[in-house]
Amino acid sequence: MRPDAPLLDAKDLVRRYDMRRGFLGRAVEVRAVDGVSLRIERGRTLGLVGESGCGKSTTGRLVLGMETPDQGSVSFEGQPLPSPGSAAWRAQRARMQMVYQDPLGALDRRLSIGTQVAEPLEIHRIGDRAARVQDLLRAVGLRPDQAERYPHELSGGQRQRAVLARALATEPALLVCDEPISALDVSIQAQVMNLLVDLQERFGMGILFISHDLRAVRQVSHRVAVMYLGRIVEEGEPDAILQDPAHPYARTLVSAIPHPGRRVDRIILQGDPPNPADRPSGCAFHPRCPVATALCARETPALKRRGDGRLVACHLAHRDEALPRKAA
């Protein structure tokens, strides 16, 4: 492990699938992830946001080694990710854990909470399991006696806390949280997000927080990456993106957030997201973009850094930045 290396460094990830059109139709290639690069530092959170089907969850599986990229590379703690399924990969997975969307689906209804939290400890032969389980339950805000309960005997928020306790059992350096609050009541979501922030401060983990909810991402993230149709279209500080988004798709997402006390014009996109198998030429967003030009249909914009430090993949965003500002 190189001390100067980022915790996670994913470069130019591509993941393709074959999709068949109709019962006897020909197979066509779908790029679920198309050249995505991510960097996460220790003790920091990167929020990955976008609508359903944009490739967020696939990206999460790629950085954990649960799927193999067709192109690109993933390094963890300065070392290339081992081949999935190998002994080295299984050992490294103790340092990288996933928190899933549906806590009830992630837990075995036939086993007690304590048994499931202890399972990673048994697999990796870690310490005094009974004492460790109690410590983990306390860390996530559950009582030690709740170890004897079964998933159906806990509330949704308590189940997600149990899932977090199990993920923390091996003292991971990285958590990938895939829509961890979308299955919870609104009143519970804030509690789980606050818990994630507290756990990160306590254990120093890096977190990839995947969500379609920009408000949730803003609350827990140090940086935010906006994804559309398999590509990152904007990345920067949360406040910068939410207050003054540079990419037209990011503006659309921000306009959909309720802003009590002030009027915000909602941007309504025309048409549906294109089928991934029918990816348009040029910028993937240009068929729905209200400000697209002929250049957007011809050339795919590169994800480039602007003067304000943000990464943006938009011809117009970089052109507008280069224009001289009018004197007040």
* Residue 306 in tokens: 């602007």
Angle in degrees, CA 131, 132, 138, rounded to 5: 95
> What pLDDT does residue 188 have?
85
Q: What is the pLDDT of residues 155-208, one digit of tens each?
A: 888 999 999 999 999 899 999 999 988 878 887 888 889 899 999 999 999 999
Compute the 3-state secondary structure of the chain and give helix, strand, coil in percent, each to the nearest 5.
Answer: 35, 20, 40
Residue 21 lies in a domain: yes
> What pLDDT does residue 321 have?
63
Q: What is the pLDDT of residues 41-76, one digit of tens each?
A: 999 999 999 988 889 999 999 999 999 999 999 999
| Domain span including residue 181 | 8-95+172-244
Residue 301 lies in a domain: no
Residue 221 lies in a domain: yes
Residues of the chain with pLDDT under 50: 323-328
The pTM of the whole model exceeds 0.85: yes
Spatial distance between the Cα atoms of 319 and 322, rounded to a whole number of angstroms = 5
End-to-end CA distance of the chain: 52
Helical ranges in 17-126 per DSSP H: 56-64, 87-93, 103-106, 113-123
Spatial distance between the Cα atoms of 288 and 44, rounded to a whole number of angstroms = 33
Q: CA 83 → CA 8, 174, 271, 287, distances in Å?
A: 16, 18, 41, 39
Q: What is the CA radius of gyration of the chain?
A: 21
Residue 87 lies in a domain: yes
Residue 260 lies in a domain: no
CB-neighbour burial class of residue 227 (10 A; exposed 0-12, middle 13-18, buried 19+): buried
* Residue 231 in tokens: 């590509």
CATH number at residue 183: 3.40.50.300
> What pLDDT does residue 264 have?
63
What does the DSSP assignment read for 259-320? -TTS--PPPPPPSPPPPGGGPPSS-TTTTT-TT--HHHHHSPPP-EE-TTS-EE--HHHHHH
Residue 58 lies in a domain: yes
* Residue 125 in tokens: 């032969």
Residue 231 lies in a domain: yes
Please state the domain count of the chain.
Answer: 1
Residue 54 lies in a domain: yes
